[in-house]
Amino acid sequence: MTAHLTVLPVALPLLSAMLLLSKRHGYIRLKRLFSVASTAVLTLVSAALIARAAGGEITYYALGNWQPPFGIVLVLDRLSALMVLLTALLALGCVIFACAGEDERGSNFHGLFQLQLMGINGAFLTGDLFNLFVFFEVLLLASYALLLHGGGKARIQSAVHYVILNMAGSSLFLIAVGTLYGATGTLNMADMAARISSLPAEREGLATAGALLLLVVFSLKAAMLPLYFWMPRAYAAAPAPVAALFAVMTKIGVYAILRVYSLIFGEQAGGLANLGQGWVWWLALLTLAVASVGVLASRDLRQLIAYLLLVSVGTLLAGIGMGSIAAVSALLYYLVHTTLVTGALFLLAEMIGAQRGKAGTRIVKGRQMPQGQALSLAFFIAAVAVVGMPPLSGALGKVLVMDAAIGSQRLWLWPILLLSGLAAMVALSRAGSTLFWRSQGGDDSGERLARRQWAGVGLLLAFSPLLVALAGAVSDYTLATAEQLANPEAFIDALLIDAGGAP
């Protein structure tokens, strides 16, 4: 049974999704119970996986028992285990929040949500470049439908952009994968990494073209500078639990860049070593700068949060651009923090919007909120965490990233990162004071917020102090992960030489 644990994060959501999709209408209580239970079990499975991966052993699961490099494999190492657990925790908060009524505004919310989880987990676990494409398509198709959940003009309009851009991106992905297959003759990531170090000189150009095309595709998913324009609009228009889950979607791009450019085009890749690093570093800094301007210019709370997400993407990519073990370790710590906190902020924005009636989440004077005090406290905690002020996890994450910069990198990263923090602080305090203090008075006898909404937000926000309390253990784990990533030979050996893995 434990041998099959690796496939559960993909198989379990798929099975739940099929059961949930079998009835389109009705049974809402049963569906909610089932969806939450399935996500909770997924969290337990991910915890078991991370416990297994923490020892440093890289295990793989050969689907249909076709051994690598010929069959399709799922690979469990420290990085993939961490990402799967992060997704499960975020999803648990989102799905509890959605049970308060968001799921009834359209059909099939829970089934699509589970399919999205399946795609995300598959993308994190797969050890095959073409399967990465397939799982990307699964999660994208689910995300298209979830983005449109509930309908409305803003959603349709942003969905058209989102779908068309991602379809073009998928075409590029296939061209890149095809080029790399043509150059190396394999699609298995470990096998490709082994072959690329002994690539004949005349194929190097082909492999470079494929690798850089792949970088374009991943930066579209991660929302790196020239390719981020779809992101703020789509995230601001999506229903709250979906937007919160989308907080992990940009991280899939970051993960893919980290995985492919450390494993396949890492130090050992001969003439192609560290191919993407220079591009990622400079574009990450530009992303940070542009996102800070976006943060200051936003007139809507949800748009503001989307730009804060873009700031975090810039910070993470800067970590990849630095490339050292310390930088990767720091970026993984920051990744866990920022995903959970931004998710909580998206959920909070929905609650604030629901209490302000017509004014919604626009940052303008509105009517007084019935539960303004509790909401403002939660907003304050989330804002402190996301800006990166002590004592919450954002401060630790940013200090770790800044500490990892060496030499002239400091000269570029420190001012831009600190100024983006300042911009976020100014924008959030302006938004908070307008939303909570400059109200028109009036009666505050509106509808109370559901307890499930508070539970979802509370669950996600609680991780920020928890990440500080357990900072030692978490940063030890991320450091071990970064060391594992810096040593791709272990990954290649585990898949290609060791034939005694899981069945």
Partner 1 sequence: MESLFAITTGVLSACGLYLTLRGRTFPVVVGLTLLSYAVNLFLFSMGGLTTDGAAVVNANNSGMTDPLPQALVLTAIVIGFAMTAFAIILAMRSRGDMGNDHVDGHDYDVRQDNSRKERQR
Cβ-based nearer residue to partner 1, 134 or 326: 134
Cβ-based nearer residue to partner 1, 37 or 164: 164
Residues that bind partner 1 (CB under 8 A): 130, 134, 137, 141, 144, 148, 151, 153, 156-157, 159-161, 163-164, 167-168, 170-171, 174-175, 177-179, 181-182, 187
Smallest separation, CB 292 to partner 1 (Å) = 26
Cβ-based nearer residue to partner 1, 51 or 167: 167
Helix (H, G, I), strand (E, B) or coil at 223: coil
Environment class of 269 (CB within 10 Å of its CB; exposed 0-12, middle 13-18, buried 19+): buried
Bridge partners (DSSP) listed for residue 362: 300
| CA of residue 173 relative to chain centroid, distance | 19
Q: Pick the closest to residue 155 from 108, 98, 105, 85 (CA basis).
A: 105
Cβ atoms of residues 38 and 114 within 8 Å:
yes
Smallest separation, CB 63 to partner 1 (Å) = 14
Cβ-based nearer residue to partner 1, 120 or 354: 120
Smallest separation, CB 185 to partner 1 (Å) = 8
Smallest separation, CB 176 to partner 1 (Å) = 10
Cβ-based nearer residue to partner 1, 186 or 292: 186
Q: Pick the closest to residue 269 from 327, 335, 328, 194 (CA basis).
A: 194
Q: What is the DSSP string of 427-460?
A: HHHHHHHHHHTS--------PPPPHHHHHHHHHH
Cβ-based nearer residue to partner 1, 67 or 433: 67
Smallest separation, CB 296 to partner 1 (Å) = 25
**Cα–Cα dist 263/132, whole Å:** 15
Distances (CA, A) of 198 to 258, 273, 319, 377: 22, 12, 28, 58
Q: What is the DSSP string of 304-333?
A: HHHHHHHHHHHHHHHHHHH-SHHHHHHHHH
Cβ-based nearer residue to partner 1, 152 or 357: 152
Smallest separation, CB 31 to partner 1 (Å) = 24
Ordered alpha helix ranges (H), 323-445: 325-355, 372-387, 393-404, 408-436
Smallest separation, CB 274 to partner 1 (Å) = 26
Cβ-based nearer residue to partner 1, 156 or 364: 156
**Cα–Cα dist 416/285, whole Å:** 7
The values of phi and psi at residue 231, to 5°, are -70, -55
Smallest separation, CB 218 to partner 1 (Å) = 17
